[in-house]
Structures are given as C-alpha cells and as structure tokens.
Structure 1
C-alpha cells in the first residue's frame, strides 16, 4: 500500500463517482474523459491495494474498503476547502482573525464605534464578535473560544488577566405618566415598590439588581424577563414595569418610545466594564492590536 501516491484530483473524482453512482457521470462532473477517469480509479485501487468499487451494469457501489476511504476523503476535501478559504483571505489582505466575546452593555454602547475605528486602521484583520452574558464571556476565554472578552465587574474571572475597558452608569427608566416620572433623581430603594422589567437572571445586570435588593432587605418585584435592552425599553413603554439600564442604552429610545430617564443616586450604579484575556503576552498579534486599540485613551473618549 502506497498512500503517498494518492492525489487530490483522484480523491475528488472518487467522491464524485460515489455521489453519482457512476464512473461516467463522475468523469463528466470532473471534466475528464471516461477512459482517463476509469484509469485514475484503477490506479487509486492499486495504490491502496484493495477494490474500492463494485462495478455492475447499473453503475458502481462501494465496497466496505471503499466506504472507509470515502469517509476519509470527505474530511480531506473539507480540509482542502478550508485551506483554500484561508489562503483566499490572505490573498485579499485579511491577515488575521480575532474572536471577541462581549456582553450586551459593551455591544450596545461602545463597541460599534470602537470596532469601526479599528477596522479602518487595520482592514486586514477580521473580527468575529459574539454577544453573550458576562459569565459566558468569561467561560469562552477560559476554554479558548475567544481571545478577548468584555464583561461587567463582579463577574468571577479567576485565571484571567483584566484591564479597564469603559465605565458606564445605570439609570432608572419609566414610561411617561408613571408616578415616578416627575422625579429627576431617586434612590433605588424608593423605586423597589414598583414592578420591574429585567434581563434574564444569569446576566450581570440582573444579578446586580438582585444583590442590591437583598442588601436592602427587599425582594425585587419582577414582572417579566427579556433578553435585550431594546426589549426592556419596549416593555417599559408598554407600561409593564420600570427598569434599570445603562444611560447610553436608554438614550436612543427616550423620544421614540416616550420614556423618562431618572438618575439613580446609589454609588453602585457606576460600573466598570473589563476586557479580559488568558495571557496578554501570548495573544496573537491581531488580538494584541485590538486590545491596544480598545484600551487606548482615544477609544475611551
């Protein structure tokens, strides 16, 4: 058996023959003469030292050895396709990929402008952005699914290195006509008698509200959980509750949805968003460049 004699043309032809059940149809798809295709199949069988196809009047079927080879051929051809895609990226000037995971606060408030600036400066680097809860962002960093991740402070991040990315501020949002709507500033404790709309329980924002409610010796009156800031604002506008959200996430919806933003006086409404990684020194160069851009003073301005 001499597997070094295998070539991609013959393997691709073999796959086409299997798919069509016919050497002649496979040859047609491969743009080969039937005689040349038949010779390649015979040479392939000689190289592996066993018959791969059972030939009959209606075409061909795989032998057990042919089935085994075909499974490997599919993987080989898939790897070649991926190699081709990767090399095409490099030929087009795409010289790197950064996998960035970030929580909703970062994606909604800061990343669009920051990433646009980075891509303008580094058009050869592609960014694969995933929006996830802070806890999931940390897990993705720890198990290698992401090079960089942005998550809220208070999220357990043992084993990660972190830097400050941005600071944001939480505010209360209520619908026009709500009993609190005339207030300019309010303590969170004075709002807890009302029903709330919240993100799902696993998110950093939902956990923070639950922690602060417990610290007050109260249980937050939650009417509904949703999965995005936009959905929270829509629920508030519909009169289903009030909500605590980052100020910049509320801003676009104030006029269009008839919402009122009220400043919260509690110290904990000032939050840090952190950018984390497993080992800053071991980051690939594209990820290091993105990290430097995201923590630069110009990005935070």
Structure 2
C-alpha cells in the first residue's frame, strides 16, 4: 500500500463516482473521458491495496474499503476547500480569520453592533460567526472548531477560561388582553401556571426556566418550542402562550405585535454572558484582537474564571 500515490484529482473523482453511482456519470461530472476516469479509479485501488467498488450492470456500490476511503476523502477535500478559501482571503488582503460561536441572546442583542464596529476598524480580519445553543458553543471551543465562544453563565464549561462580557435581564412577554398584561411587575411563580412559548430544550434559557419551575414544585407547560426570539414573540401575539425572554430582544417587537412586557422580580432573571476560550493568553492574534475589542480591555489584565 502506497498512500503517498493518492492525488486530489483522483480523490475528487472517487467522491463524484460515489455520488453519481456510476463511473461513467462520475467521469462526466469531473469532465473526464470514461477511459481516463476508469484508469484513475484502478490506480486508486492499486494505491490502497483493495477494491473500492463492486461493479454491476446498474453502476457501482462501495465496498467496506471504499466506505472507509469515502469518510477520509470527504474530510480531505473539505480541508482543501477551506485552504483555498483561506488563501483567497490572503490574496484579497485578509490577514486573519476568527471563528466565533455565540448563543442566540448574544447574537440578537449585542453582537451586530459590536462586530460592525470591529469590521470597520479591522477590515483585514474576517469573522466566521456561528449561532448555537450555549452547550454547543462550549463544545465547539473545546474541540477546536471555534476560537472564541459566547455563552450563558450557568453552562458547564470545564476546560475553558472565561471572562464576564455582558449582562441582560429576562422579562415576561404576554399578549394585550392577557390577565397579566396590566401588571408592572410580578414574581415568576405567578405566571408559571400559564402555557408557555419557549426556545428549544437545549438552550440555556429553556433549561433555566425548567429548573426554576421545578424549584417551585411545578411543571412548565410548554405549548410550543421555536428557534428564535422573533418566533417566540409571534407565537405569543397569536395567543399560544406567554414567554420569558431578554428585555432587549423583546422590546423592538412589543409595539409591532401589540405585546406587553412585565418585569420579573426573581433574582435569577439577571443573567451574565461569558466569553470563553481554551487559553485566552494563547489566542491567535486575530482572535486576540477581537477579544480585546469585545471586552474593551486586554484579557491578561482581567480575572479569569
């Protein structure tokens, strides 16, 4: 077996044949003559020392060896695509890329303005922003898919260094005409008996509501799960329940949807968002530049959690 004989053209052809289910169709997709494509597949099989396809009258199917190669080929070709994108960035004057993952609260309330200012000040740094649940954000940073993550304070984050970033406050949002619509403030226990509209179960907000409701000896009555604050407000306006969400996220929707915001008096409605990395002091320069921008101070002068 001589894997050093593998080449990217043959790997790409192999993936196209897998996708098409036939060597002739794969050759067409790769703009190769069928004879040349068959020769490349044969050379590839010789290089790995095993047949990659079972040939039959209707096309080809993968052998176990072919399945193993396909898993690795997908990753290799994806890495090559990413390399091409990175080199293209450098050709266009981009000097760095920061992979930032953040939860919905951060993206909805704070990041648009912060990132717009950053890009204006650092046009050579490209931000790859990915939205995810807080737990997914932590995992992305831990396994190296993200340079920086922004997540809720109660999220388990063992293995990360964190900095306090922003605070927000949760409020109860109800439709006009709801029995609680005329209240200026109330304790969450007074609303817990109503139907709720919630974010998906994996989000830090949904988990916090479930935990606090359990602490009251009650079960949260979820009518519907949605994936955004806008959708939560739309469902509340439609009369499907009440919702707890950040004040800054709800405020733009109140007048447009004829909703009411009621202050919650419970201490847990004050939340903190954290910035996290595996090693804040060892961040690549572009990520460190973004961290400094987001915190407004150098991280090495701050208390790590």
Work out whether the TM-score is over 0.5: yes
Report how far residue 215 of structure 1 moved. 1.5
Query: What TM-score, normalized to structure 2?
Result: 0.73
Distance 1:77 1:209 in 2: 43
Q: Distance in 1 between matches of 2:114 and 2:285?
A: 18
Q: How much does 1:220 deviate?
A: 1.6
- For structure 2, list consecutive stretches of 5 or more residues without a partner in the other structure: 15-22, 33-46, 48-69, 298-305
| Distance in 2 between residues matched to 1:189 and 1:180, nearest whole Å | 12
| TM-fit CA distance, 1:212 | 1.0
Check if 1:204 corresponds to 2:204: yes
Equivalent position of 1:133 in the other structure: 133
Residue 81 (structure 1) shift: 6.3
Which residue does 1:94 correspond to in 2?
94
Structure-2 change in CA distance of 1:266 and 1:80 (3 Å): closer
Structure 1 stretch displaced more, 186-195 or 268-277: 186-195
**CA separation of 1:79 and 1:240: change in aligned 2, threshold 3 A:** closer
Structure 2 partner of 1:254: 254
Q: Distance in 1 between matches of 2:237 and 2:143?
A: 40
TM-score, normalised relative to structure 1: 0.74
**Distance across 2 between alignment mates of 1:111 and 1:269:** 21
SS in 2 for 1:235: helix
Q: How does 1:100-249 map to 2 (within 5 A)?
A: 100-249=100-249
Q: Please give the root-mean-square deviation of Cα atoms over the aligned residues, in Å.
A: 4.1
1:86 shift after superposition: 2.8
SS state at 1:112 partner: helix
SS of 1:281's equivalent in the other structure is helix
Paired residues, number: 267
**In terms of Rg, which structure is larger?**
1
- 3-state secondary structure, aligned to 2:251: helix
Q: CA deviation at 1:281?
A: 1.7
Counterpart in the other structure of 1:37 = none
Give, in angstroms, the shift of residue 89 of structure 1: 1.2
Deviation at 1:170, TM superposition (A): 0.3
The structural deviation recorded for 1:114 is 0.5
Q: C-alpha displacement at 1:80, in angstroms?
A: 6.7
Q: Which runs of 5+ in 1 are unaligned?
A: 31-47, 49-70
